[in-house]
């Protein structure tokens, strides 16, 4: 019998403008861009279903009708729409708007995530580490050696127990955020109204010692530009 997951629900961030993926996103939202014959958001939703999650909340903004039509009839996981047609709220504002549809805690991930699991699937790994007594959020992070198509300086440092600090000026941070996390409603308390990024909430949690990271044991692919699609497809075909 599989150990229980921390939540049966994930919020899938799908409302962005996809500017780095142009010209492909001139006529379609980024989550509908196809990789290995499948829309990016279907890669994500299929992984949720495989892990045993039954509910997904998908936020929509850019070319929202097309994206909503693509996901709304899905049965596994069952999809609810968090409508941001009136204003793009970014990641923090998006979670706050959808909060009434989300249990405590919930998984949150980007709609363009592609990964290959290690010994356990990503959601099982996060669930086994999750401790709401000491954590407001638990981020799945990956070392540079397991981050495909990534050329940046990294995002975070971890201490000996997994507490997160941000990349230090002039340093390479050893861990990259995969876009996947478990979030407690406590992280969202007293949040500002309207548009803001999750980093604003993470900064407070870092200051309180309640933001943690878990190194991923699989491979993660950044698929942010059209040029990243082919190498990702090649790697998946060898998978």
User: How many CA atoms lie less than 13 Å away from 78 in the CB half-sphere?
Assistant: 4
Tell me the two tokens of residue 68: 């909503």
Instruction: Encode pLDDT of 86-107 as tens digits.
Output: 999 999 999 999 999 999 999 9
Is 89 in contact with 197 (CB distance < 8 Å)? no
Residue with the two structure tokens 């990503």: 122
Percent of the chain with pLDDT over 70: 99
Asked if the model's pLDDT at residue 2 lies above 90, the reply is: no
Element housing 183 (H / E): strand 175-183
pLDDT band at 239 (very low <50, low <70, confident <90, very high): low
Q: What is the DSSP letter of 86?
A: T
pLDDT band at 1 (very low <50, low <70, confident <90, very high): low
Residue 170: the pLDDT is 78
Q: Residue 17 pLDDT > 80, yes or no?
A: yes
Handedness of CA 95, 99, 101, 105 (dihedral sign): positive
Task: Classify residue 226 by its DSSP letter.
Answer: G
Q: pLDDT grade, residue 39 (50/70/90)?
A: very high
State the Cα–Cα distance between residues 212 and 30, nearest whole angstrom.
29
What the block records as the tokens of 128 is 């086994």
Cβ atoms of residues 71 and 79 within 8 Å: yes
Please, where are the H alpha helices in 196-228?
199-207
Q: Determine the pLDDT at residue 169.
A: 81
The Cα–Cα gap between 92 and 174 comes to 24
Task: State the average pLDDT for the chain.
Answer: 95
Check: CB of residue 144 under 8 Å from CB of residue 46: no
186 near 136, Cβ under 8 Å? yes
Does residue 223 contact residue 229 with C-beta atoms inside 8 Å? Answer: yes
pLDDT in tens, 154-180: 999 999 999 999 998 878 999 999 999
pLDDT at 22: 94
Residue range 9-238, CATH number: 3.90.550.10
Contact between 32 and 76 (Cβ < 8 Å): no
Tens of pLDDT, residues 192-229: 999 999 999 999 999 999 999 999 999 999 998 999 99
């Amino acid at each position: 019998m599989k150990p229980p997951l921390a939540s049966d629900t994930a919020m899938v961030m799908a409302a962005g403008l996809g500017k780095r993926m142009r010209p492909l996103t001139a006529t379609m939202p980024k989550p509908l861009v196809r990789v290995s014959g499948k829309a990016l958001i279907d890669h994500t939703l299929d992984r949720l279903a495989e892990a045993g999650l039954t509910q997904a909340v998908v936020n929509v903004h850019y070319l929202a009708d097309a994206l909503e039509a693509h996901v709304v009839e899905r049965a596994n996981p069952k999809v609810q729409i968090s409508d941001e047609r009136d204003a793009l709220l970014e990641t923090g504002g998006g979670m706050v708007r959808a909060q009434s549809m989300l249990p405590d805690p919930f998984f949150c991930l980007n709609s363009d995530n592609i990964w290959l699991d290690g010994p356990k699937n990503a959601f099982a790994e996060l669930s086994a580490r999750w401790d709401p007594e000491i954590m407001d959020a638990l981020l799945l992070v990956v070392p540079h050696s397991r981050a495909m198509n990534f050329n940046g300086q990294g995002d975070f440092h971890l201490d000996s127990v997994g507490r997160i600090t941000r990349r230090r000026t002039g340093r390479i941070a050893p861990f990259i955020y995969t876009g996947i996390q478990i979030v407690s409603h406590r992280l969202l308390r007293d949040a500002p109204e309207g548009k803001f990024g999750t980093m604003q909430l993470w900064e407070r949690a870092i200051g309180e010692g309640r933001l943690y990271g878990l190194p991923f044991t699989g491979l993660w692919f950044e698929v942010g530009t059209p040029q990243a699609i082919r190498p990702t497809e090649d790697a998946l075909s060898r998978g």
